[in-house]
Structure 1
């Protein structure tokens, strides 16, 4: 069955930062959240480069494997980010996370680098489709921290991989989906301050995507919103 996306997107600078280094896109079949790496120069430039390179996948037919199309577009963005860093010393070290979803028929191709996230809500269940590239996630994987402890850890924002112009190994997965599924893509400005229980409850309670996205940002504000917050809600419907 062919499916389509009904989407809403909200991007907010948060309550502490004056600029928004996040960039996002929610189209007919492509969803992307890119979060300029905190503390690095020109993070907003890197996130926009990633969006710009992935955007054509929303507008033209995909020849071949959708996952390959995503990884090729990201590789092109990575090369451009490297070039910006080489030619402009003030932007050396610029980088970004990326989480992207490409819908083809009834399958999602998911691409991920960093700590932005993709969740899938399928009543009554709620799954995280991505694994954070973070120091604390490595500790969780080794059994040194519980997920609850990781959520409160002071080093939870330290990422182990970003799109910064160097060698890159994005994670990819293909997920079958059905009508009625709901997707959430978000920057860590949401997931660092709002726990999964509250996220899952908001996904279940708010039927309209725009209302749901706005509620997610409201929850981040209630948690102090020390970082930029970007949220995409996408509901899957029959085409």
Structure 2
């Protein structure tokens, strides 16, 4: 049995728009960050994790069941499962806000653990990391203007680039031609998997976060990272899931 822990706090915000999913039976883990401020962001993130979990659970119980869309031959079965789960979550949020004028939406970062394999799917700027032998590796690339500009090599002064940091380009519940990006990674005994919303990683450099992830059991690591993010000045809700192999 894998050691795991999860934690979410409101932090300096007046309400918590983050949600998470931990399902040991399915080996499904997820975090979601609701968008829209007071415009039901917490509802969107709850819908996201509930719809994802419900879809994966139904598919495990009935592999011949109906999917909300067509899978891709370029993806593994587990990648398609998570991608379709994200689509189900997207449709659940879109249906909830239909006709209300609500702008609510949600990010999603989720993983499925299967023996020595980790399947990852994400939408938005919530992240998945793998920590192995002292090295923290990001397994997702943010769907944000900041990430796009950095990847493009555009000559944007750092002070101007920073203003795009929290402008996401993709979210559940918002119009999009493409939702979840997926990938599969190998796992080894001793690996630590971290899923988190931006309230956790925003205050830190990659090196600082790497140092915080190391050491202790999953519960200790969760509390240490949340305490450090809050102390470092995080202005957002802080949510994370840690799974140790």
* Worse overlay, 208-217 or 65-74: 65-74
Instruction: Find out whether 1:51 has 2:49 as its counterpart.
Output: yes
| Inter-CA distance 62–102: structure 2 relative to 1 (3 Å threshold) | farther
Report the counterpart of residue 73 of structure 1 in structure 2.
Answer: 85
Quote the offset at 1:169 in angstroms: 2.6
Q: CA RMSD in A?
A: 2.2
Q: Work out the CA distance in 2 between the residues paired with 1:83 and 1:73.
A: 15
Counterparts of 1:194-205 in structure 2, within 5 Å, are 194-204=204-214
- 1:14–1:229 Cα contact (<8 Å) kept: yes
Report the counterpart of residue 39 of structure 1 in structure 2.
Answer: 37
Consecutive unaligned residues in structure 1, runs of 5 or more:
none
Consecutive unaligned residues in structure 2, runs of 5 or more:
64-75
Deviations 1:70-124 (A, max 9, x none): 11122112112111111433xx221000000001221111001100111101103
Quote the offset at 1:194 in angstroms: 1.9
TM-score normalised according to structure 2 size: 0.85
Q: Work out the CA distance in 1 between the residues paired with 2:244 and 2:62.
A: 22
Deviations 1:178-219 (A, max 9, x none): 111001111000111122111111112x32111111111111
Q: Work out the CA distance in 1 between the residues paired with 2:199 and 2:36.
A: 11
Counterparts of 1:132-143 in structure 2, within 5 Å, are 132-143=142-153
Instruction: Find out whether 1:6 has 2:3 as its counterpart.
Output: yes
Instruction: Find out whether 1:153 has 2:151 as its counterpart.
Output: no
Secondary structure class of the residue paired with 1:154 = helix
Counterparts of 1:218-237 in structure 2, within 5 Å, are 218-236=227-245
Q: Work out the CA distance in 2 between the residues paired with 1:124 and 1:163.
A: 33
Q: Work out the CA distance in 2 between the residues paired with 1:38 and 1:5.
A: 35
| Inter-CA distance 221–229: structure 2 relative to 1 (3 Å threshold) | same
Q: Work out the CA distance in 1 between the residues paired with 2:23 and 2:3.
A: 9
Secondary structure class of the residue paired with 1:81 = helix
- 2:132–2:191 Cα contact (<8 Å) kept: yes
- 1:62–1:69 Cα contact (<8 Å) kept: no
| Inter-CA distance 62–207: structure 2 relative to 1 (3 Å threshold) | farther
**How many residue pairs align between the two structures?**
226
Instruction: Find out whether 1:115 has 2:125 as its counterpart.
Output: yes
